[in-house]
Amino acid sequence: MRRLALLTVLLAAPLTAQPAEPIPTVSIAAPETLSGVILLAPPPQSLSAYGRSKVLWRADIHLPKGLSIARADMTGYAPIFLTSRSGSCFKLDFNGASQALTKVDLLPDVCWPGRPAGASPPPPAPLPPRAGLVYAGRAWDLIAWTDTRTGETTLIPEREHDARPVLTTSMRVIAVGGLGSPDAPMTEVSLVGYVRGQLVATTVMLILP
C-alpha cells in the first residue's frame, strides 16, 4: 500500500519544465557610430534642395550565448523579422514614422508572415554584373551586391549595372529591404548585418532621382 501511495504521488507531481530558449535584447545606438561603416554617395545637384542621404538610426541586437540568427526578413524596410537557427522567431519593431529612433521593441514568438496575400511573386535574383559579386537582396528598386573579395556590400540602381553605388558598407549584410516615397525622391532602406561581431539593424534615408 505504501508503494502504491508513493507511485500515485510521483505520477501527480508536475513534470519539470524545460528551460526556455534565451531571448535576445535590443538597444539604441547613435547612428553616427556607423559613419565609417556606411558610405553614402551625394545626391545629384538637381536634388540638393532635399538635403543629403543619411543614416537615420541604429539598433544593436544582443544575442545570448548559443543563439544565432539564420535569416532576417522584411516587407519594405520595417518591421524586421529574425529567425534563429533553432527556428525561434523575433520581430524588431520601431517607430519608423520618425527620423529619430526613440523606442525599439524585440518581440519573441512573432514570425515573418510572408508576402501579403495577392502580392506578386518576387522577381528572380538577377545575374551579377561581374565576377566576384553575390546577390544580397533587393531594396525597392536597388540591388544589393556583396563582393566576395572585400566583403563590402553595395546598393546599385536595378537597371544601371555600371552606375556608381548609392551606398557602400563594410557591414556583413544578411538582409536588406526598402520602400520608396511616392511623392518625393527618397527611399528608406534597412540593412541587417554584423559590425565587428555585433548584430545591427539600421535604416538609411537615400536621396535618389
CB 155 within 8 A of CB 38: no
CB 40 within 8 A of CB 54: yes
Domain residue limits at 101? 23-111+131-207
Residue 10, classed as helix, strand or coil, is helix
- Residue 38: what pLDDT? 98
Note whether residue 178 is domain-resident: yes
In a domain? residue 13: no
Please tell me the distance from the alpha carbon of residue 202 to that of residue 42, in angstroms, as a whole number.
19
Q: What's the CA gap between 141 and 55, in Å, rounded?
A: 19
Tell me whether residue 17 is in a domain.
no
SS3 129: coil
Domain count of the fold of the chain: 1
Cα separation, 96 vs 91, in Å, equals: 14
82 sits in which H/E element: strand 80-84
Tally helices (H) and strands (E) across the chain.
Answer: 1, 14
Secondary structure of 29-80 as H, E, C letters: ECHHHHCCCEEECCCCHHHHHHCCCEEEEEEEEECCCCCCEEEEEECCCCCE
In a domain, 94, yes or no: yes
Bridge partners of 89, per DSSP, are 83
Q: pTM score, two decimals? A: 0.87
Report the DSSP beta bridge partners of residue 79. none
Task: List the one residue out of 149, 155, 192, 157 whose CA is nearest residue 172.
Answer: 192
Quote the pLDDT of residue 133: 96
Give me the tens of pLDDT residue by residue for the chain, a chain 209 residues long. 445 444 344 344 455 555 566 789 999 999 999 999 999 999 999 999 999 999 999 999 999 999 999 999 998 999 999 999 999 999 999 865 467 788 899 999 999 998 777 778 888 889 998 999 999 999 999 999 999 999 999 999 998 877 899 999 999 999 999 999 999 999 999 999 999 999 999 999 999 98
Q: Has residue 119 been placed in a domain?
A: no
